[in-house]
Amino acid sequence: MGTMGTRMRPVMPKKLSLQPVRTASPDRNRDWKVDVPASVSQTGKRQRFFFKTKALADGFSESERIRLINFGLEGGNALTPSESEQSANALLLLEPYGVTLNEVVTDWINRKKCAEASISYEAGMDEFFKWRKRSPSYERSIEQTKNRLTALHGKLLNQISSGDVARSMDGMKASVRNFTIRILGGLFNFGIKRGYCIDNPVRKVDLAQRENKEIEIYSVREAAKILHAAERHSPSLVPFLAASFFTGLRRSEALRVEWSAFDFTEHFLKLPAAITKTKRGRHIEMSPNCRAWLSPYKKKTGKIFPFSGNVLRNRLEELREVHGVKTIKHGARHSFASYWLAQNGDINQLCRFLGHDDPETTFRHYARAATKREATKFFTIVSKKPRKIERKRSITNPPTGKRMSRPSPFRARKVSRTISPSATQEQA
């Protein structure tokens, strides 16, 4: 017997015939078949090959015999006893899972190549950020997620497991955790396309269960306080706030909408699909008080708030110090939806205004959040800024109703001096 390290020419099993067999198939292209057993097939599974003629089947059988001879005897690839034992053990371990040794080896090679091409979590987030144009708020969320998950810093994307992802989010609020999971899911899907990782570990991470809370809205008094404070201290915010409160725009939409979208003749706002979250255009009616708030500021072109999101946040924070009203996330949009539904009761129309698809969910959120009396007050919030007084003023003569010019006090004084007898005597 040779040593374990010595290559030995294996004893060939019973010679395989690989003879073509005629079939009873009605398909003339499948008249002949050749069976290749799993033990010698290239896939590790039994294979059947069909041919139109016996000549084609014979040619295939001969090529298979040559392949087996070269592989088993002349190719120099005969396994040592140790390698044969390892192969047998591997096949036994894989048997319960229904996979072949070739599949496992291919998967390992792919993972090895991926590990060599992978990049760090931080670099992956940077590429994911630059991948496509997104809304400013979503871009901020990507940056915040990148900086918040310090436990993942320095790790390659292909090395991050679902456990790593779950541990990195310990202590997060349910809403923040769920939004982080969505961003990370997008990151790893992007990484798979780029060849930085094989799997998306986020698929095995459960979303947090959120408590069903009623939405918060601004009271009529709070909404009026915010608008009047902006009118006095930060007029550039008035169009943004009025459009948010009285048309229900999302913040990202209000930051991008232009004056040309507002039709003050037909009294509606035509929101372009390019700036909406759902990429579908919307037509929103403008209430009389909405038009009254916007009219003094309207322009032919340009955005209603021609500054960045950072400038908006800073100015809103400065304004909050003036009016003192607690900030409610999406409060202006929720307020519009709640008061509009209380006043009009048409849930399908409200869905069209908001860009929602599910009337049932919309109704569940906004029904009974406000009363009809409050809604009436909300849609009559008007400016406290006095109108400009014309230079030429006239008064109405009560008996006749005709307008007459206001007499000049200087002319009356002059006439009085002319006709006064006492004044004439004094002058004499």
Is residue 189 helix, strand or coil?
A: helix
Residues 247 and 361 in one domain: yes
151, 274, 306, 313, 384 from 164: Cα distances, Å: 8, 37, 42, 34, 56
Residues 271 and 198 in one domain: no
Residues 139 and 266 in one domain: no
Is residue 293 helix, strand or coil?
A: helix
CB hemisphere CA count around 195 (13 angstroms): 6
Residues 154 and 241 in one domain: no
pLDDT in tens, 120-165: 999 999 999 999 888 777 888 999 999 999 999 999 998 899 999 9
pLDDT in tens, 52-95: 888 998 998 888 888 777 765 444 445 666 777 788 888 888 88
Percent of the residues in the chain that have a pLDDT greater than 70, as a whole number: 83
pLDDT for res 82: 72
210, 222, 364 from 213: Cα distances, Å: 9, 21, 11
Residues 182 and 297 in one domain: no
- Which domain covers residue 151, as residue numbers? 121-204
Which token pair is 24?
Answer: 């009873």
pLDDT value at 395 more than 50: no
* pLDDT classification of 186: cutoffs 50, 70, 90: very high
Residues 42 and 171 in one domain: no
Residues 157 and 267 in one domain: no
Residues 288 and 338 in one domain: yes
pLDDT value at 183 more than 90: yes
Residues 144 and 188 in one domain: yes
Say how many Å lie between the first and final Cα of the chain, rounded.
160
- Bridge partners of 258? 303
Within a domain: residue 423? no
Within a domain: residue 102? no
Within a domain: residue 94? no
Within a domain: residue 180? yes
Residue with tokens 């007050």: 377
Radius of gyration over every alpha carbon of the chain, rounded to an integer in angstroms: 40
* pLDDT classification of 15: cutoffs 50, 70, 90: low
Mean pLDDT, the chain, integer: 83
pLDDT in tens, 16-61: 678 888 888 777 778 889 888 877 777 767 888 988 888 998 998 8
- Rounded Cα distance, 32 and 55, in Å: 9
Q: What is the CATH number of the domain that holds 135?
A: 1.10.150
Instruction: Give the angle subtended at the CA of 361 by the CAs of 360 and 367, to the nearest 5°.
Output: 80
pLDDT value at 1 more than 80: no
- Highest mean pLDDT out of 77-86, 103-112, 272-281, 328-337: 328-337
* pLDDT classification of 428: cutoffs 50, 70, 90: very low
Within a domain: residue 214? no
Within a domain: residue 244? yes
pTM, two decimal places: 0.56
What is the distance, to the nearest Å, from the Cα of residue 147 to the centroid of all Cα atoms in its chain?
A: 19
pLDDT in tens, 270-298: 999 999 988 899 999 999 999 999 999 99
Mean pLDDT of 210-235: 91
Residues 343 and 304 in one domain: yes
How many structural domains compose the chain?
3
- H/E element, 123: helix 121-131
* pLDDT classification of 414: cutoffs 50, 70, 90: very low
